[in-house]
Amino acid sequence: MVLAAAIQLEAVVGDVDANLAACERLADEAGRAGARVIALPEFFTTGIGFVDALKDAALPVDGKATELLTALARRHGALVGGSFLCRDADGHVRNAYIAADAGGVVGRHDKDLPTMWENAFYVGGHDDGVFHVNDHDVGAAVCWELMRTGTVKRLRSRVDLVMTGSGWWSIPPWPPRSVFDRWERGNAATARLAAASFAKYVGAPVVHAAHAGALTCPMPLLPMRYRGYFEGATLITDARGKVIAERPAEQGEGVVLGEIEIGRRAPLLDPPNRFWLHPRGPLPTVVWHYQRGHGRRWYRRHVMRAATPSAAGVGDTPRD
C-alpha cells in the first residue's frame, strides 16, 4: 500500500508566486505525513477564470512550476504532478500536466480540449497521457477529460494509477432562480461523480486534486459578471472506484490522504457509445459552444506569441 495525497487549493487567480507558495506549503504537509504520491490541481499556478491577468501568466516548461514539482519530488521521495499554463517554444500555451519523481520530470500530458472560457488561454494537445514510473504506468487526465469517453479509451486497462486535477466552477444563481438552482444541483453532483466514478471505467486508483473558494470575473461577450465558486471534491479512490478519502470543496483548502494499492484491475464499467460520459446540463452545453468560439479568437489576439528561434519551424504547425 502507498499513501497518496491530493491537494485542495484556494488559488489567488493570476498570482503565480502566491499560488506556488501555497502549493509548496500544502504539498510539504502531505510529504511530512508520508505521502509518496502527491497530486496538485489543474491550473495550480494561476487558478482559473476569465481574468485578463492570465494572458501573461503562462510559464515556460522548465520554469518555476516545474522547478517546484521536481523540488517537492526530491524532498519527499514522491511522485508529484499537477497542471499549469505552459508556454512552449512554438509560441502556444498549453494546459500541461507535468509529473516528476526524485530523479526529475517523468512525463507530460497536455489537456485535449479547453473547457468553455479556457479557450481564451490555451490550445489543446493530442498525446495519450501515459508515462512510465519505476514499475508502473501512470495516466494523467485533467478536469473535463474526466467527462469524456475518449479519455477512458486512452487509459482503460493501460495504467496502474491515474493522477488528475480540476477547477470546476458552479452555475451562477441567475433568474429564474428555480431553474438555475436546479441546474446547479445537477452540476454539483456531476462534478463529484466525474472524479469518483472514473476508476470504474479505467480500472486503476484515482488521485484527484481540485480547487475551492469563490470566483468572480467577467462573462465573455455578456454584460453581467460571473459570481460563483469552485465545487466538486478533492478525493482518492481505489481501483474499483471506492472513495477512500474525500474533502468537499466547501471545506476549503487542505490535504486529503489515503492509502491505495497501485495497480490495474478489470474495469467495472464499460464506456458508453457517446462522446460524453456524463450529461453536461443545458447551460454548460450552450456555454461550451459560445465560449469556445469567442475564446479561440481572444487567444489569437491576446495570448499566442511568435515562435522563439529555438522552435525552428515548430510554430508553423500548431497542435490546436
For 116-162, how does the pLDDT look when each residue is reduced to its tens digit (9 = 90+)?
999 999 999 999 999 999 999 999 999 999 999 999 999 999 999 99
Measure Cα distances from 81 to 69, 100, 180, 195 in Å: 7, 6, 35, 16
Q: Is the pLDDT of residue 87 over 90?
A: yes
> Could you say which DSSP state residue 135 is in?
T
Per-position DSSP letters for 189-254, written without gaps between them: HHHHHHHHTHHHHHSS-EEEEEE-SEEEEEPTTSSSEEEEEB-SEEEEE-TT--EEEEEEGGG-SE
C-alpha cell at 210: 481540485
pLDDT at 306: 78
The closest of 43, 41, 258, 271 to 155, measured between CA atoms, is 271
> Could you say which DSSP state residue 113 is in?
S
Average pLDDT, the chain: 94
Mean pLDDT, residues 76-80: 98
Please, which residues bridge with residue 210 across strands? 8, 166
Mean pLDDT, residues 9-35: 98
pLDDT at 10: 98
pTM over 0.85: yes
Assign domain 2-313 one CATH number from 3.40.50.2300, 3.20.20.70, 3.30.110.40, 3.60.110.10: 3.60.110.10
Mean pLDDT, residues 234-238: 98
For 152-191, how does the pLDDT look when each residue is reduced to its tens digit (9 = 90+)?
999 999 999 999 999 999 999 999 999 999 999 999 999 9
Please, which residues bridge with residue 137 across strands? 132
Length of the chain: 320
pLDDT over 90, % of the chain: 94
Burial 71-106 (b: 16+ CB within 10 A, else e): ebbeebebbbbbbbbbbbebbbbbbbbbbbbeeebb
Predicted confidence band of residue 308 (pLDDT cuts 50, 70, 90)? low
pLDDT at 320: 39
Q: To the nearest 10°, the Cα dihedral for 46, 15, 57, 310?
A: -100
Q: Is the pLDDT of residue 318 over 70?
A: no
3-state SS class at 312 = coil
Residues 6+ apart with CB under 8 A from 10: 22, 211, 212, 213, 252, 253
3-state SS class at 299 = helix
pLDDT at 41: 98
Q: CA 15, CA 20: separation in Å to the nearest integer?
A: 9
Please, which residues bridge with residue 215 across strands? 228
pLDDT at 309: 64
For 47-63, how does the pLDDT look when each residue is reduced to its tens digit (9 = 90+)?
999 999 999 999 999 99
pLDDT at 310: 55
Q: Do residues 84 and 93 lie in contact, with contact meaning Cβ atoms separated by under 8 Å?
A: no
Q: Where are the domains of the chain?
A: 2-313
Does a cis peptide bond (omega within 30 degrees of 0) precede residue 205?
Answer: no
Q: CA 9, CA 211: separation in Å to the nearest integer?
A: 5
Mean pLDDT, residues 265-274: 96
